[in-house]
């Protein structure tokens, strides 16, 4: 149970990768070395109406028409002053210097944005901004790269939630997943139809607090029921290495009697198991299929398709597995919203997964569900409003996958150049395929780089990079060699650029 102990002891102020072992992989506790005295200044200009006077003409009785003009214009000015007051809150600064194409719409969008955010309170801004001397934390897949896109979408992706809205526990008492907002159900199905990455007809849509909660829900639903488990052993949970470091941590942290982590699927012997298939795979981006055959014995599979979106990989077929997991964290970049969803074929499994979420958190934030629905709708709108998809329209700012792909292509090209310049790193080979969504051949551009340090004297690549103030997650946490590290490709431009510069200089 070394894995579990590690998982429970990660504390703030310690770098995750230094935990060692395979089990601390879900670790998100930020490093104290990243903590800068950075608080974004939030200027609040105090607009007031400019003093206004009618031109002075002559003293004496004022004719009725002049009174009318005065009253009317005064009204306009008052209205204007009121509006100006609403526009007084300004958003945090932009982070897009790579891509100038988006700037054209920004002034319009900014006006809208400011008009609507006046009543907001100060939200957090994520990790502190970085400078060339900063420790760069690419340990987590924090998808802040996408902020740049969403800053330009104005009202299209904005939600307004009045105080009395969605106060009930219940969303739809007729649905298996009774806490699922019907609007999110609709937008999830719509987006999958637009992209063509997963079948939705005949599936139940379930919502979770991120896909992590639905991963646990799936284990709970697929494990033999409690009575059977009491008699026998917990069911084995396996995944082909390198596997997502959270899988062992999340499976084992409560020492459940229902399921237990059993490591690499390739090495598994037995006929009762749950196989986790992550495709494209976290950490290495590989396209995966189940390696165990569920037709023999009591095997079940869960497909984690968090990265099966056009910005990361060509969409080569419409997936139609029994249980498929998705999340807004990686599809749209809204990690802070904590919304994942599952597409589930079997009604009894869907019910049991729903029961898990009920017992664990009594449902899922409706505020975030409404926000996710709005965001997914904005993505679909980008492609459905104009049915013709030609290269000429590919630069439309509201097209998320176009933005994402452009960024990922650019970043992978920078990374490969940096690795080549350095000479001591290697990366997975680029693969490509025909994308049914974009209707053209595209390369895979994974959300993480699975980087290998080839220098003979470096056995701990994460430690080596940490020495150069680059935080990554060690291959050891993914059931692989410590010469590998996983590097997030989804951080903001400034952090990514510094990372690239540092990497290329390492010899």
- C-beta of 43: minimal distance to a second copy in Å? 17
321 three-state secondary structure: coil
Pairing of strands 432-435, 440-443: antiparallel
Among 206, 235, 370, 506, binds a second copy (CB under 8 A): 370
Stretch that binds a second copy, among 302-310, 353-361, 411-419, 435-443 (CB under 8 A): 353-361
Select the span of 96-104, 158-166, 285-293, 434-442 touching a second copy (CB under 8 A).
158-166
As measured in angstroms, the least distance from the Cβ of 348 to a second copy is 8
The residue within the footprint of a second copy, chosen from 84, 129, 156, 194 (CB under 8 A), is: 156
Cα 281 from Cα 306, distance rounded (Å): 9
Contact 138, 462 (CB under 8 A): no
3-state secondary structure 102-116: HHHHHHHHHHHHHHH
Window 100 to 139, contacts with a second copy (CB under 8 A)? 113, 116-128
Is 304 labelled a binding residue?
yes
Is 211 one of the annotated binding-site residues?
A: yes
CA distances, 102 to each of 96, 152, 311, 389, 504 (Å)? 9, 7, 17, 19, 28
Within 331-350, the residues that bind a second copy by CB under 8 A are 333-339
Residues that bind a second copy (rule: CB under 8 A) add up to a total of 128
**Which of residues 205, 377, 461, 465 is near a second copy by CB under 8 A?**
377
Sequence-distant (6+) residues with CB within 8 A of 306 are 211, 278, 282, 325, 326, 327, 329, 330, 331
Rule CB under 8 A: choose which of 207, 249, 349, 447 binds a second copy: 249
**212 among annotated binding-site residues:** yes
Give residues 439-478 in contact with a second copy (rule: CB under 8 A).
none
Using CB under 8 A as the binding rule, whether residue 270 contacts a second copy is answered as: no
**55 lies in the binding site for a second copy (CB under 8 A):** no
Identified binder of a second copy from the candidate list 42, 45, 52, 66, rule CB under 8 A: 66
Closest CA to 450 of 483, 422, 476, 427: 427
Whether 296 and 462 have beta carbons less than 8 Å apart is answered as: no
Least Å distance, CB 35 to a second copy, is 5
- Non-local CB neighbours of 108 within 8 Å, separated by 6+ positions: 154
Nearer to a second copy, 178 or 270 (CB): 178
Stretch in the footprint of a second copy (CB under 8 A) among 42-50, 98-106, 141-149, 277-285: 141-149
Nearest residue (CB) to a second copy, 491 versus 497: 491
Closest distance of CB 316 from a second copy, Å: 28
Question: CA 59 → CA 55, 56, 219, distances in Å?
Answer: 12, 8, 86
503 is in an annotated binding site: no
Query: Which is closer to a second copy, CB of 26 or CB of 314?
Result: 26
Query: Shortest distance, CB of residue 54 to a second copy, whole angstroms?
Result: 10
Question: What span, in angstroms and rounded, lies between the C-alpha atoms of 455 and 474?
Answer: 16
Judged by CB under 8 A, does residue 91 bind a second copy? yes
Taking CB under 8 A as the rule, which mask of x and - marks residues 223-242 in contact with a second copy? --xxx-xx------------
Query: DSSP letters along 369-430, please?
Result: HHHHHHHHHHHHHHHHSS----GGGTT-TT-HHHHHHHHHHHHHHHHHHHHHHHSSEE-PPP
**Is the CB of 113 or the CB of 483 nearer to a second copy?**
113
Minimum separation from the CB atom of position 155 to a second copy (A)? 5
- Cα–Cα distance between 308 and 278 in angstroms, integer? 9
Radius of gyration of the chain (CA): 26
Identify which of residues 259 and 464 has a Cβ nearer to a second copy in the complex.
259
Task: Identify which of residues 63 and 295 has a Cβ nearer to a second copy in the complex.
Answer: 63
End-to-end CA distance of the chain: 38
Cα 394-413-307 angle, rounded to 5 deg: 65
Q: Would you say 77 or 420 has its CB closer to a second copy?
A: 77
- Binding-site positions for pyridoxal 5'-phosphate: 169, 211-212, 282, 304-307, 327-330, 338
């Amino acid at each position: 149970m070394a894995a579990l102990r590690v998982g429970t002891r990660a504390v703030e102020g310690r770098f995750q990768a230094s935990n060692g072992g395979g089990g601390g992989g879900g670790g998100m506790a930020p490093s104290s070395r990243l903590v800068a005295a950075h608080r974004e200044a939030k200027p609040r200009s105090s607009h007031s109406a400019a003093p206004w006077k009618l031109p002075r003409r002559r003293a004496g009785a004022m004719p009725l028409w002049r009174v009318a003009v005065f009253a009317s214009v005064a009204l306009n000015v008052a209205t204007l002053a009121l509006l100006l007051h609403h526009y007084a809150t300004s958003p945090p600064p932009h982070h897009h210097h790579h891509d100038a194409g988006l700037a054209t719409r920004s002034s319009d969008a900014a006006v809208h944005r400011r008009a609507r955010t006046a009543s907001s309170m100060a939200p957090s801004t994520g990790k502190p901004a970085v400078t060339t001397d900063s420790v760069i934390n690419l340990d987590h897949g924090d998808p802040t790269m996408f902020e740049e896109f969403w800053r330009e979408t104005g009202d299209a992706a904005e939600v307004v939630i009045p105080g009395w809205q969605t106060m009930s526990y219940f969303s739809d008492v007729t649905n298996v997943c009774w806490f699922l907002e019907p609007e999110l159900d609709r937008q999830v199905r719509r987006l999958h139809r637009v992209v063509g990455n997963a079948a939705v007809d005949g599936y139940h849509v379930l919502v979770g607090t991120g896909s992590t909660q639905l991963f646990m829900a799936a284990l709970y639903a697929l494990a033999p029921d409690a009575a059977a488990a009491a008699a026998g052993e917990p069911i084995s949970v396996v995944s082909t290495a390198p596997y997502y470091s959270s899988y062992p941590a999340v499976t084992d942290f409560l020492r459940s009697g229902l399921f237990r982590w059993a490591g690499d699927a390739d090495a598994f012997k037995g006929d009762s198991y749950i196989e986790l298939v992550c495709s494209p795979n976290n950490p290495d981006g590989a396209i995966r299929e189940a390696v165990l055959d569920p037709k023999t014995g009591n095997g079940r599979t869960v497909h984690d398709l968090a990265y099966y979106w056009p910005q990361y990989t060509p969409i080569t077929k419409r997936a139609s597995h029994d249980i498929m997991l998705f999340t807004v964290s990686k599809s749209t970049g809204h990690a802070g919203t904590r919304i994942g969803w599952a597409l589930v074929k079997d009604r009894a499994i869907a019910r049991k997964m729903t029961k898990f979420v009920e017992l664990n958190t009594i449902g899922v934030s409706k505020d975030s569900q409404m926000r996710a629905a709005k965001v997914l709708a904005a993505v679909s709108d980008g492609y459905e409003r104009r049915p013709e998809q030609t290269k000429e329209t590919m630069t439309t700012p509201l097209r998320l996958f176009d933005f994402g792909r452009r960024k990922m292509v650019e970043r992978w090209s920078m990374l490969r150049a940096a690795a080549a310049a350095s000479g001591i790193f290697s990366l997975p080979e680029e693969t490509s395929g025909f994308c049914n969504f974009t209707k053209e051949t595209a390369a895979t551009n994974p959300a993480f780089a699975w980087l290998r340090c080839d220098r003979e004297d470096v056995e701990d690549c994460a430690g080596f990079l940490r020495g150069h103030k680059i935080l990554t997650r060690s291959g050891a946490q993914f059931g692989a060699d410590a010469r590998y590290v996983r590097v997030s490709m989804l951080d903001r431009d400034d952090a990514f650029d510094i990372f690239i510069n540092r990497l290329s200089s390492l010899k």
